[in-house]
Amino acid sequence: YPDIEPLLLNVTLQEAYDSALAVITRRKWRIVDARPPQPGRRDGLIEAVARTPIMGFRDDVVVRVRPAQEGARVDVRSASRYGRSDLGANASRVRALIEDIDDAAGSEEEKRKKAVPAKAPAPKKPQGPTRR
């Protein structure tokens, strides 16, 4: 699946991790391990188990969040536990998860931009002494 690439986000490492964790939680996947990133020490990692809709098969999903040049890089993989072929189900899951994390991180970036007030113009200096 050459169309699936890592997601590059213009948010902090923690914001990217929080966005991924929120999306996975919202999907009600069972979280097996969740280790937040520690810049300079370790990447963020989320391991979860997703179930297929009809048969309820368990698939393993791993999300890794690590630093990128300007923000964070999110890598996602999904693998079936059973059978030889998943008929593209894991690729579809990865695409959808990447899209949802991108949307969630975009919301975080917008919140951050709104939280930073615009710089007020400097007050005008008086031109000289005023006489009455």
Whole-number percent of the chain with pLDDT over 70 = 83
Q: Specify the amino acid at residue 46.
A: I
- Note the residue count of the chain: 132
Domain boundaries, the chain: 7-109
Residue 11 predicted with pLDDT over 60: yes
Residue 56 predicted with pLDDT over 70: yes
CA pseudo-torsion sign 93, 49, 7, 20: positive
Amino acid 85: pLDDT: 80
CA pseudo-torsion sign 31, 79, 64, 92: negative
Amino acid 121: pLDDT: 59
Q: Is 12 helix (H, G, I), strand (E, B) or coil?
A: coil
The highest-level CATH class for domain 7-109 is alpha beta
Amino acid 36: pLDDT: 98
Q: Answer whether 94's CB lies under 8 Å from 13's CB.
A: no
* Alpha carbon distance 37, 18 (integer Å): 10
pLDDT grade for 71, boundaries at 50, 70 and 90? very high
Residue 132 predicted with pLDDT over 60: no
**26-30, 99-103, 111-115: segment of lowest average pLDDT:** 111-115
Residue 127 predicted with pLDDT over 70: no
* Alpha carbon distance 91, 1 (integer Å): 7
In the DSSP assignment, the letter for residue 67 is E
